[in-house]
A and B are shown apart, each in its own frame.
Chain A
Protein backbone atom coordinates (compact mmCIF):
# COMPACT_ATOMS: atom_id res chain seq x y z
CA UNK A 1 0.00 0.00 0.00
CA UNK A 2 1.52 3.27 -1.13
CA UNK A 3 -0.26 6.40 0.02
CA UNK A 4 0.22 9.91 -1.36
CA UNK A 5 -0.52 12.97 0.77
CA UNK A 6 -1.22 16.13 -1.22
CA UNK A 7 -1.33 19.44 0.64
CA UNK A 8 -3.12 22.52 -0.67
CA UNK A 9 -1.92 24.58 2.29
CA UNK A 10 0.51 24.19 5.17
CA UNK A 11 -0.85 21.27 7.23
CA UNK A 12 -2.00 22.09 10.75
CA UNK A 13 -1.37 19.87 13.77
CA UNK A 14 -4.58 17.86 13.26
CA UNK A 15 -3.63 17.05 9.68
CA UNK A 16 -0.08 16.16 10.71
CA UNK A 17 -1.40 13.75 13.34
CA UNK A 18 -3.80 12.09 10.91
CA UNK A 19 -1.12 11.79 8.23
CA UNK A 20 1.28 10.24 10.73
CA UNK A 21 -1.28 7.58 11.61
CA UNK A 22 -2.27 6.98 7.97
CA UNK A 23 1.37 6.63 6.87
CA UNK A 24 2.32 4.25 9.68
CA UNK A 25 3.84 1.01 8.32
CA UNK A 26 3.10 2.12 4.78
CA UNK A 27 5.16 3.47 1.93
CA UNK A 28 4.24 7.14 1.67
CA UNK A 29 4.90 10.15 -0.47
CA UNK A 30 3.78 13.77 -0.41
CA UNK A 31 3.27 16.70 -2.74
CA UNK A 32 2.79 20.37 -1.86
CA UNK A 33 0.52 22.50 -4.00
CA UNK A 34 1.09 25.58 -1.88
CA UNK A 35 4.34 26.46 -3.61
CA UNK A 36 5.06 28.68 -6.54
CA UNK A 37 4.62 26.80 -9.80
CA UNK A 38 4.01 23.25 -8.56
CA UNK A 39 5.11 20.61 -11.05
CA UNK A 40 1.81 19.04 -12.04
CA UNK A 41 3.53 16.41 -14.19
CA UNK A 42 5.22 15.13 -11.05
CA UNK A 43 1.90 15.22 -9.22
CA UNK A 44 0.19 13.14 -11.92
CA UNK A 45 3.06 10.69 -11.87
CA UNK A 46 2.84 10.38 -8.09
CA UNK A 47 -0.94 9.88 -8.18
CA UNK A 48 -0.63 7.06 -10.70
CA UNK A 49 2.11 5.36 -8.73
CA UNK A 50 0.15 5.53 -5.46
CA UNK A 51 -2.57 3.15 -4.38
CA UNK A 52 -4.37 5.83 -2.44
CA UNK A 53 -4.27 9.63 -2.55
CA UNK A 54 -5.53 12.09 0.03
CA UNK A 55 -5.75 15.76 -0.97
CA UNK A 56 -5.80 17.83 2.21
CA UNK A 57 -7.07 21.38 2.49
Chain B
Protein backbone atom coordinates (compact mmCIF):
# COMPACT_ATOMS: atom_id res chain seq x y z
CA UNK B 1 0.00 0.00 0.00
CA UNK B 2 1.26 3.43 -0.88
CA UNK B 3 -0.26 6.56 0.41
CA UNK B 4 0.43 10.22 0.34
CA UNK B 5 -1.50 13.24 1.32
CA UNK B 6 -1.23 16.93 0.96
CA UNK B 7 -1.63 19.30 3.86
CA UNK B 8 -5.40 18.90 3.80
CA UNK B 9 -6.49 15.45 4.80
CA UNK B 10 -9.57 15.94 2.66
CA UNK B 11 -7.34 15.52 -0.39
CA UNK B 12 -6.20 12.11 0.75
CA UNK B 13 -5.25 9.83 -2.10
CA UNK B 14 -4.60 6.18 -1.69
CA UNK B 15 -3.85 2.99 -3.52
CA UNK B 16 -4.79 -0.46 -2.38
CA UNK B 17 -8.20 0.64 -1.20
CA UNK B 18 -11.46 0.48 -3.06
CA UNK B 19 -12.42 4.09 -3.61
CA UNK B 20 -15.95 3.31 -2.50
CA UNK B 21 -14.76 1.94 0.82
CA UNK B 22 -15.41 4.13 3.82
CA UNK B 23 -12.21 4.59 5.77
CA UNK B 24 -11.85 5.19 9.47
CA UNK B 25 -9.51 8.14 9.95
CA UNK B 26 -8.24 9.62 13.22
CA UNK B 27 -6.85 13.14 13.01
CA UNK B 28 -4.76 13.95 16.08
CA UNK B 29 -4.51 17.67 16.79
CA UNK B 30 -1.91 18.63 19.39
CA UNK B 31 -1.58 22.32 18.63
CA UNK B 32 -4.11 24.86 19.82
CA UNK B 33 -4.92 25.73 16.23
CA UNK B 34 -7.48 22.95 15.89
CA UNK B 35 -9.93 24.37 13.37
CA UNK B 36 -8.07 23.23 10.26
CA UNK B 37 -7.86 19.68 11.57
CA UNK B 38 -11.56 19.58 12.35
CA UNK B 39 -12.36 21.01 8.92
CA UNK B 40 -10.20 18.31 7.33
CA UNK B 41 -12.21 15.73 9.25
CA UNK B 42 -15.39 17.27 7.93
CA UNK B 43 -13.96 17.08 4.41
CA UNK B 44 -13.42 13.36 4.85
CA UNK B 45 -16.88 12.93 6.40
CA UNK B 46 -18.63 14.46 3.41
CA UNK B 47 -16.59 12.09 1.22
CA UNK B 48 -18.27 9.26 3.12
CA UNK B 49 -15.41 8.39 5.46
CA UNK B 50 -15.56 8.07 9.23
CA UNK B 51 -13.61 11.00 10.64
CA UNK B 52 -12.51 11.39 14.24
CA UNK B 53 -10.66 14.64 14.92
CA UNK B 54 -9.02 14.46 18.37
CA UNK B 55 -8.12 17.65 20.21
CA UNK B 56 -5.21 16.54 22.38
CA UNK B 57 -3.96 19.65 24.12
CA UNK B 58 -6.96 20.56 26.27
CA UNK B 59 -6.93 24.10 24.94
CA UNK B 60 -10.05 25.28 23.20
CA UNK B 61 -10.66 28.47 21.29
CA UNK B 62 -13.95 30.28 21.54
CA UNK B 63 -16.03 28.28 19.10
CA UNK B 64 -17.90 30.28 16.51
CA UNK B 65 -21.34 29.19 15.41
CA UNK B 66 -19.73 28.18 12.15
CA UNK B 67 -17.24 25.83 13.88
CA UNK B 68 -19.92 24.41 16.16
CA UNK B 69 -21.96 23.62 13.06
CA UNK B 70 -18.94 21.96 11.48
CA UNK B 71 -18.45 19.80 14.57
CA UNK B 72 -22.16 18.91 14.62
CA UNK B 73 -21.92 18.00 10.94
CA UNK B 74 -19.03 15.60 11.61
CA UNK B 75 -21.21 13.96 14.25
CA UNK B 76 -24.17 13.75 11.87
CA UNK B 77 -21.91 11.95 9.40
CA UNK B 78 -21.16 9.24 12.00
CA UNK B 79 -17.83 10.73 13.04
CA UNK B 80 -17.03 12.43 16.31
CA UNK B 81 -14.79 15.21 17.55
CA UNK B 82 -13.09 14.18 20.78
CA UNK B 83 -11.17 15.88 23.53
CA UNK B 84 -8.41 13.62 24.79
CA UNK B 85 -7.24 13.98 28.36
CA UNK B 86 -9.22 17.14 29.14
CA UNK B 87 -12.89 17.93 29.84
CA UNK B 88 -14.86 18.85 26.75
CA UNK B 89 -15.55 22.58 26.56
CA UNK B 90 -18.92 23.96 27.62
CA UNK B 91 -18.98 26.52 24.82
CA UNK B 92 -19.51 24.06 21.98
CA UNK B 93 -23.06 22.73 22.25
CA UNK B 94 -25.94 21.80 19.98
CA UNK B 95 -29.35 23.47 19.92
CA UNK B 96 -30.47 21.42 22.94
CA UNK B 97 -27.41 22.45 24.90
CA UNK B 98 -25.67 19.06 24.69
CA UNK B 99 -21.90 19.05 24.33
CA UNK B 100 -20.81 18.35 20.77
CA UNK B 101 -17.29 17.29 21.71
CA UNK B 102 -16.99 13.95 23.49
CA UNK B 103 -14.25 12.97 25.95
CA UNK B 104 -11.84 10.11 25.46
CA UNK B 105 -8.86 8.95 27.51
CA UNK B 106 -5.45 8.32 25.99
CA UNK B 107 -5.80 4.57 26.54
CA UNK B 108 -9.28 4.50 24.99
CA UNK B 109 -7.96 6.47 22.04
CA UNK B 110 -5.09 4.03 21.54
CA UNK B 111 -7.44 1.06 21.59
CA UNK B 112 -9.84 2.78 19.16
CA UNK B 113 -7.02 3.64 16.78
CA UNK B 114 -5.99 0.00 16.46
CA UNK B 115 -8.93 -0.34 14.06
CA UNK B 116 -8.10 2.83 12.15
CA UNK B 117 -7.31 2.82 8.45
CA UNK B 118 -5.33 6.02 8.78
CA UNK B 119 -3.89 7.92 11.74
CA UNK B 120 -2.88 11.47 10.95
CA UNK B 121 -0.94 13.39 13.60
CA UNK B 122 -2.02 16.70 12.14
CA UNK B 123 -0.26 20.02 11.77
CA UNK B 124 2.21 21.36 14.24
CA UNK B 125 3.12 19.69 17.54
CA UNK B 126 2.05 21.24 20.80
CA UNK B 127 3.66 24.62 21.08
CA UNK B 128 6.17 25.16 23.85
CA UNK B 129 5.90 28.94 24.05
CA UNK B 130 2.89 30.99 25.04
CA UNK B 131 1.26 32.72 22.07
CA UNK B 132 1.31 36.52 21.92
CA UNK B 133 -1.72 38.17 23.46
CA UNK B 134 -3.11 39.08 20.06
CA UNK B 135 -3.27 35.37 19.16
CA UNK B 136 -4.46 34.10 22.52
CA UNK B 137 -8.13 33.85 21.58
Which residues on A are within 8 Å of B, measured CB to CB? 9, 12, 14-15, 17-18, 20-22, 24, 47-48, 51-57
4 tightest Cβ-Cβ pairs between the two chains A and B: A21-B110, A57-B125, A54-B119, A18-B110
Bound-state CA distance A48–B76 (Å) is: 36
Which residues on B are within 8 Å of A, measured CB to CB? 1-3, 30, 56, 85, 106-107, 109-111, 113-114, 119, 121, 124-126
Q: Which B residues are in CB contact (< 8 Å) with A9?
A: 125
Min distance, Cβ A28 to any Cβ of chain B, angstroms: 12
Min distance, Cβ B55 to any Cβ of chain A, angstroms: 13
Closest to A9 in B: B125
B121 touches A57 (CB 8 A): yes
Q: Which of B1, B106, B121 touches A56 (beta carbons < 8 Å)? A: B121
A21 touches B125 (CB 8 A): no
A22 touches B113 (CB 8 A): yes
Q: Which of A18, A24, A47, A53 touches B106 (beta carbons < 8 Å)? A: A18
Closest to A57 in B: B125
Q: Which B residues are in CB contact (< 8 Å) with A15?
A: 121
Which of A9, A24, A48, A57 has most B Cβ within 10 Å? Answer: A57
Q: Known contacts A57-B30, A57-B124, A57-B125; decide if A14 and B106 are in contact (CB<8 Å).
A: yes
B121 touches A17 (CB 8 A): no
Closest to A48 in B: B2
Closest to B123 in A: A57
Bound-state CA distance A22–B114 (Å) is: 6
